[in-house]
Structure 1
């Protein structure tokens, strides 16, 4: 890319079109920088509407206002999209009840070395509870737009925060 910018500037400069060469080189440089910065730009522009859209795909609805505490996406070999939301009491209670009353609910676990995990071969959903969290994990054969097909939701009981992890592994 640097060579294309350099050559385009000097070609126009050689034909006495220095101003045109500067403009073309400037446009190419800005385009190259935007391409490089794209992962960070998508993180910076992540909005409540994006979070609601992602959660609705997974049948979680938020009725009240919430705060986006953290958002990150990216990876070279494995792609991850993660975010953490501060929920209202009503949304927290509704989601925790949805997990506890699910047909996939495996119970309350106090032994953290023996937690259930979803099997990627069966695309099963696993819902369970620990002393600190409500959790849902599942694999699906239908990928989201960003290529993720393994999902984990963790609902923090103390802070009333919902953490989402979507990955392509």
Structure 2
């Protein structure tokens, strides 16, 4: 714990020092406005990598939802509302969002899942990757797996893509609860 506090303090001191130098050097030569501009610019550039993780939820829009769902050929015809969006982690990356959809879109998405060639009507709530043995690593870029299923509580689309050694596989879920008008998307690199 103390190690990370020291790293954070060193980073903060680095930002303060660099910002001060960017301001002070031009000011010393009589160019105060340039110093202010360079100081602010340096501060923004050095703090952006850290602050981008804190504010990325604010940069998530309906177009991002539409694009994400379209990757798997899921399309919403009616307007929807983003209820929640969350991103966690760097190495073990987890992203999820929940949207409120119309009854018409819900029925259309359920039909797409139920009419899929690989649809399974499950009576137990068990992750499908626990049922099937899936390769964790693969150098074949075209290798991917999809399942469509219904459990006791939801309709589910599951996409799995193994990746080369050293990279984590991609797990994506689109879940539509039997009760309610929501859609939940999860992306997991783990």
User: TM class by shorter-chain length?
Assistant: 0.7 to 0.9
Superposition TM-score, scaled by structure 2 size: 0.74
How many angstroms does 1:80 deviate by? 2.3
Distance 1:149 1:115 in 2: 15
2:128 alignment partner in structure 1: 116
Q: 1:154 to 1:49 in 2, by over 3 A?
A: same
Structure 1: gaps spanning 5 or more residues: none
Tell me which residue corresponds to 1:90: 104
- Counterpart Cα distance in 2 of 1:132 and 1:93: 15
Distance 2:133 2:157 in 1: 13
The worse-fitting range, judged by mean Cα deviation, of 85-94 and 130-139 is 130-139
- CA-based RMSD: 2.5
Q: Does 1:149 align with 2:163?
A: no
| 2:40 aligned residue (26, 40, 43) | 26
For 1:128, the equivalent position in structure 2 comes to 149
Give distance in 2, aligned partners of 1:133 and 1:92. Answer: 12
CA deviation string 1:49-70 (max 9, x = no partner): 1111111111101111111111
Deviates more, 1:78-87 or 1:28-37: 28-37
Shift of 1:22: 2.2
The count of aligned residue pairs is: 163
User: Does the C-alpha gap of structure 1 residues 119 and 7 become closer, same or farther in structure 2, counting only changes over 3 Å?
Assistant: farther
The TM-score, its normalising length taken from structure 1, stands at 0.82
**Cα pair 1:80 1:167 within 8 Å, conserved:** yes
- Gaps spanning 5+ residues in structure 2: where? 1-13, 136-142
| C-alpha distance in 1 between matches for 2:170 and 2:29 | 53
1:51 aligned to 2:62? Answer: no
Match for 2:91 among 64, 77, 80?
77
